[in-house]
Structure 1
Amino acid sequence: MKIKESAENYLEAILMLKSKNGNVRSIDIANYLNFTKPSVSVAMKSFREEGYITVDADGGILLTEKGLAIAEKMFERHQIIAKALMALGVDEETAYEDSCKIEHDISSLSFEKIKEHLTKHNIF
């Protein structure tokens, strides 16, 4: 089953916020993604039902193994594609903005070839 781009963005945001803040709440996600709290609450309910997250007793959002796998995949794609664009001369801000769009649509084969090329040339 292919997960939607918006879900990938939510899961990646949870991973990034967890890494930065240690704890993630719905309001943190809403602020980070510039979404409304009700929109985030609806998404989190769906993610909980689909097994991508759990919520602890204090309301903290935790990625399950299934959710973490998707979040890490998106994060890796985001970072590597941005590095590739910067290696081509794109400024950092634009590279990260564009990589956020590309990461969802690029094939696994193309992504792996970009990653291999960057590794071979010690670009990251």
Structure 2
Amino acid sequence: MGCKVLVTVGNNEKREFIRKKFGIADKYIGNSHDSSFEKQFMKVTKGKGVDVVLNSLTEDKLQASVRCLAANGRFLEIGKYDMQMNKNLGLFSFLNNITFHGVGLDCIFREGPNSPQLKS
């Protein structure tokens, strides 16, 4: 689809796997153990940010992921930790016309793709 994919990984083994399996350049692979990927990804996108975030990072890394979102971007949260802990998200990012979706993968797997809740 012509998309550039930026990812975070937790170790060099995963970095190498992503590089070999999907041909993703090293500059598009960030560290998921701290928020350094925010600066890296904003530099790579020339300050624009990314259009879509599929996130499972927590705490300060979740906040950094939100800050990486471009204007009119879409954020899909598949992690549950921050939601279960009722962590604050902050509304400032929403001034850029972003959307935030909490996606309960466990509900999708439990109910199945034909669940009435998933059909529109």
TM-score of the pair, normalised by structure 1: 0.29
Larger relative contact order (Cα-Cα within 8 Å, sequence gap ≥ 6):
1
Which has the larger share of helix?
1
| TM-score normalised according to structure 2 size | 0.30
